[in-house]
Homo-oligomer: A and B are copies of this chain.
């Protein structure tokens, strides 16, 4: 007997945002009710026909929404009995997001490792080959990045990307640039899932500046190391956030031979 109606209110009107699929709106509405505390773990939801009436949608659309929530572990169904709230914590939602990331074939770890490989190489090459004009351009792009407001995610990501792309281009290796380009969409995904604080943003800008400093001095090893440090910082942030406890990061201090790239190659 759904006496639930009493404390839930009679109708949960949906906002008529018709640009998104209806089940998604229903899902969001139900999630709000659950997370907001109107429904607690273990509670039974009203029956499907009842809920459909309250939300003013067809039972089939409601079921689609319920099944989505079920796949996220928020509700569960017992046939012949009804739908029950399983967990109300936010962890369930984060797990869902991780699932979407895991659906891609390779992990963020893989992606960032390849990125580090290509970009540190590009930095070393740029130290040898970049023209002075290109270095000025890099400095200008980093100023733009520096000025970007932390809460304007779009601008932060875009200005950062332009800096790194310009650096890649300064390596004067077209193939390397092509391969890096292939990674760009994935990298954007990664960055969108990161949450840049004021502090992290400033640190990044400073590290960019250091890289440029070494490049101006044509210090190949210094520039490469500075870039490696910078990228490993981000790598560490993202990878450890990502509920992948396999990876722990340390820094090696070595005195091994570090080979060096050839000088001179059309610095324009």
| Residue positions of A touching B, CB distance < 8 A | 60, 63-64, 67-68, 71-74, 86, 88-93, 96-97, 99-101, 103-106, 109-111, 113-114, 116-118, 120-121, 125, 173-176, 178-179, 181-183, 185-186, 189, 220-222, 225, 228-229, 232, 239, 246-266
Contact = CB atoms under 8 A, between A and B. Distances in A.
B113 A121 contact: yes
For A178, A220, A250, A264, which residue has the most chain B Cβ atoms within 10 angstroms?
Answer: A178
Nearest to A221: B254
Contacts of A173: 106, 109-110, 113-114
30 contacts: A67-B68, A68-B71, A73-B100, A73-B103, A88-B105, A89-B104, A89-B105, A89-B185, A90-B105, A90-B106, A93-B182, A96-B181, A97-B178, A104-B174, A110-B174, A114-B121, A114-B179, A117-B117, A117-B120, A179-B179, A220-B252, A221-B256, A229-B259, A232-B259, A246-B262, A247-B263, A248-B263, A250-B263, A251-B257, A252-B257
B258 A225 contact: yes
Nearest to A244: B265
Contacts of A68: 67, 71
Contact of A174 (B106, B178, B254, B262): B106
Contact of A73 (B104, B117, B232): B104
Top 6 A-B pairs, shortest CB-CB distance: A73-B103, A252-B260, A117-B121, A247-B262, A90-B105, A110-B175
A251 B173 CA distance: 20
A266 B228 CA distance: 24
A125 B113 contact: yes
